[in-house]
Amino acid sequence: MALVTPPGFKIWEQIAPVTVAQSPLVSPFFDTSGYTNMLISYVFTNSTGTTTLTVEGSFDGTTQETDITYAAVGATPATVQVLTPFIRFRIVQATADATRTKALAQARA
């Protein structure tokens, strides 16, 4: 039986700056039982680089789903609809290191 994440609870956070050497930073998969949407908030500060945050899905919690995909997370805060039983987060840091990386995903009904 899967643990249920109630709406309002934290799913994932990243508070340490992401460097090009660490990129891509990929979280483990999280079970989406208990919620159908996520609220994602983030702040990325770069000197000359760019940072991209994406959500990736899975049906088994191991293999990334390639047919049903999530769009890149746009303006913050963003509501993202859950499309798969498992999700993970990917931060890609390009060109130069981030000086500030703060991201939070919360479960929503």
Preceding peptide of 28 cis, ω within 30°: no
19-108 CATH? 2.60.120
Q: Return the closest-CA partner of residue 25 out of 33, 13, 8.
A: 13
pTM: 0.91
Tens-digit pLDDT profile for residues 13-48? 999 999 999 999 999 999 999 999 999 999 998 867
Phi-psi region of 32 (alpha: psi -120 to 50; beta: other; left: phi over 0): alpha
- The whole-number pLDDT of residue 56 equals 97
Q: Is 102 helix (H, G, I), strand (E, B) or coil?
A: strand
Name the residue ranges covered by the structural domains of the chain: 19-108
The helix/strand/coil state of 62 is coil
Is the pLDDT assigned to residue 1 strictly greater than 60? Answer: no
pLDDT tens profile 42-100:
999 886 778 899 999 999 999 999 999 998 888 889 999 999 999 999 999 988 888 89
H helices of 21-107, where? none
